Structure 1
């Protein structure tokens, strides 16, 4: 097969780069449409062609590709552009999810209403548009603790556990003042308050209505929700995994996304699984890498197949387990040294260990995905073994802050 795969922005690393590479392995040519090519180091390193366009505007995207006569697929791995990519695919008569279903899903408040209307369990929630509304919503939901978050976004940006109405109001105030996200695109107005579900967190990875597996998720300390690691497949009783799979499938069906990609995040509450959110895209956080290590299933290639209108190849070719643990910034300051990385790479089960910062780089803690400055991926026969190996390898790595000659 020949043709061009149009990428409407992407992740700046990880899935974005891998999707471009998957296109080339299939004999296709990737073309990245972006407002700012400088944010993508991989396009220079891999020689990916780029065109400048207003990627939040479908008409501008049509203009940018009007001379490309062999567009075979349109896709995006970025949360912020999956709805625009779907709209462009629809305009070009190419396969893709329903743009309206994707747009509705990205608005977390609208998503929860749709799920609740069909009986899919979601946290009790309320949407506010002004700081003065927070206290009323807090009382209506029965008091804290409540999770306060933007109605659109990813990577735990702006997500906080609040224990009082005053704390929730102060956290909501700057969120409500933001008209654009960190990519500079317009975002829906409002902040979501929702009941905190106290229980372990999981995600279910699904493609074309088929559940590929269940991931166990590890998070850092509150009040933030920084993901510090993942285990695939999740270790635990089969009936729990089945309940998670069933609830995730019901959520995907309810949102009109059964025939496409879905990364469904859930918590196991006192009465069973509760859907935290459905993302109509590939999972991030190295989860596709874990699935490939554990099962031999390539979720990135499956995403490309979906965009091309082909049947994804989801049959496992191996059986095992994989884990990732993320290295978090130790604090605010300047990196003096990175120690132990080569040792970590030589440890049992380690498939990859990387640190993305080096001496003289400045670090600042954000309380979201931006705190992750490295990762370790392991593979083993069982989830428990893979997890222990990942923790051990991560413990071998240390990022030291401070100027040369100074103590930390």
Structure 2
């Protein structure tokens, strides 16, 4: 009998890859990871999981590799870690179409990747969004900001992970960030297009969706402006029934407007004076450790259910329990060289802690960029109440310490 393989196209090294490998194995599948650099995934060796070197940005190369694999395996399904890069997920959609396998609509994914096109479709669908303008140069940025009114959010129209996103509160900050984006410091994967948006102010919420069902809504704490570095995610968000229903209704409107509805979607909101305003629709699963938080909070294993969907089986999204689960990110307060970091084993021993993960090793240069790349680790905890979960997180985080020597000190 031919072995059933499940193909995983790489995502982010810190992402959900390990859980996808484990989820595939639980379903009796043989996971095979396609990656431009398989060595960056430590868990592949630990799991004794097969990996193949291939250019994952080249659709033809991926098709050739899968065709070769079909000589040995029955390819049951294809997906990716889908943590950060939506363009990879669009490629996966095309790969699924080529082999007549279940998968996302690549055209819908690509429209979402362009945040300006996404904004236009949401606006046409009557979805509440911030005022926005598209800019191609410094003059456009300045005039767009004047029309909308400061403060504004200025960000690449194509991008992810909050990279290049900044709140500009005055003319100087606007000019500074425009120079950063257009002056060669920001890496563009396509021709430079800048989105200038109204700053929607209010509490942050995020809806995690599978198919057409909202599985959970989280809230988040962010670092101080002008950047948007997440410090903590908590499931579930404390919402009234009316607030929850309004976020669900707007989420479903987003799916209709963008022609989504297969597989996972992640939608970010701000609750403003107008109610829930959509900041961004991500046509993918939320990044790690969001799926783990959902499993801890509700008992729903979104990754395993996503694998089921990708092999044509029915999902089971029923909640098994109700807890408060939260992840706290470790964020340094200075640039420099990391001398040492430790205490993770003490933090992991705190009752209620589900995971402690450090992303960096001693002697690593720390250069804060104002996005997810600033994180150096995270702690995940869960308990029956928000107060208890917060206390567990704080105790665990207090157990972890590190030392950073500023670059200026090293040069003296």
Residues 266 and 276 of structure 1 are in contact (CA less than 8 Å); yes or no, is this contact kept in structure 2? yes
Deviation at 1:295, TM superposition (A): 1.2
Q: Which residue of 1 aligns with 2:106?
A: 99
From 76, 90, 95, the equivalent of 1:72 is 76
Question: Are 1:357 and 2:380 matched, yes or no?
Answer: no
Q: Which residue of 1 aligns with 2:324?
A: 321
Q: Which residue of 2 aligns with 1:210?
A: 213
Residues 348 and 355 of structure 2 are in contact (CA less than 8 Å); yes or no, is this contact kept in structure 1? yes
Q: Which residue of 2 aligns with 1:224?
A: 227
More deviation, 236-245/113-122: 236-245
Question: Are 1:4 and 2:10 matched, yes or no?
Answer: no
State how far apart, in whole Å, the 2-side matches of 1:107 and 1:181 are.
16
Aligned-pair Cα RMSD in Å: 2.2
Correspondences of 1:283-322 after superposition (within 5 Å) = 283-322=286-325
Residues 176 and 190 of structure 1 are in contact (CA less than 8 Å); yes or no, is this contact kept in structure 2? no
State how far apart, in whole Å, the 2-side matches of 1:300 and 1:178 are.
38
From 257, 261, 274, the equivalent of 1:258 is 261
SS at match of 1:168: helix
From 233, 236, 246, the equivalent of 2:236 is 233
More deviation, 72-81/110-119: 72-81
- Per-residue CA deviation, residues 124-177 of structure 1 (Å, 9 max, x unaligned), is 111111222111111222x21111111122221111100124422331334346
Correspondences of 1:329-348 after superposition (within 5 Å) = 329-348=332-351
Question: Are 1:27 and 2:34 matched, yes or no?
Answer: no
Question: Are 1:245 and 2:251 matched, yes or no?
Answer: no
TM-score (norm 2): 0.91
- Per-residue CA deviation, residues 295-332 of structure 1 (Å, 9 max, x unaligned), is 11101112212211222111111221111101112322
Residues 151 and 188 of structure 1 are in contact (CA less than 8 Å); yes or no, is this contact kept in structure 2? no
From 149, 158, 181, the equivalent of 1:175 is 181
Compared CA separation, residues 132 and 48, structure 1 to 2 (3 A): farther
Deviation at 1:38, TM superposition (A): 3.1
More deviation, 232-241/39-48: 39-48
Deviation at 1:240, TM superposition (A): 1.3
Correspondences of 1:36-55 after superposition (within 5 Å) = 36-55=37-56
Question: Are 1:279 and 2:282 matched, yes or no?
Answer: yes
Deviation at 1:293, TM superposition (A): 0.8
Residues 152 and 188 of structure 1 are in contact (CA less than 8 Å); yes or no, is this contact kept in structure 2? no
State how far apart, in whole Å, the 1-side matches of 2:143 and 2:366 are.
38
Compared CA separation, residues 175 and 241, structure 1 to 2 (3 A): same
State how far apart, in whole Å, the 2-side matches of 1:212 and 1:34 are.
30
Deviation at 1:225, TM superposition (A): 0.3
Deviation at 1:180, TM superposition (A): 8.9
Question: Are 1:155 and 2:161 matched, yes or no?
Answer: yes
More deviation, 279-288/382-391: 382-391
State how far apart, in whole Å, the 2-side matches of 1:110 and 1:179 are.
25
SS at match of 1:282: coil
More deviation, 71-80/198-207: 71-80
Correspondences of 1:78-157 after superposition (within 5 Å) = 78=82, 79=85, 80-141=87-148, 143-157=149-163
Deviation at 1:212, TM superposition (A): 0.4
SS at match of 1:344: helix
Compared CA separation, residues 35 and 357, structure 1 to 2 (3 A): closer
Q: Which residue of 2 aligns with 1:389?
A: 392
Q: Which runs of 5+ in 2 are unaligned?
A: none
Question: Are 1:63 and 2:82 matched, yes or no?
Answer: no
More deviation, 339-348/158-167: 339-348
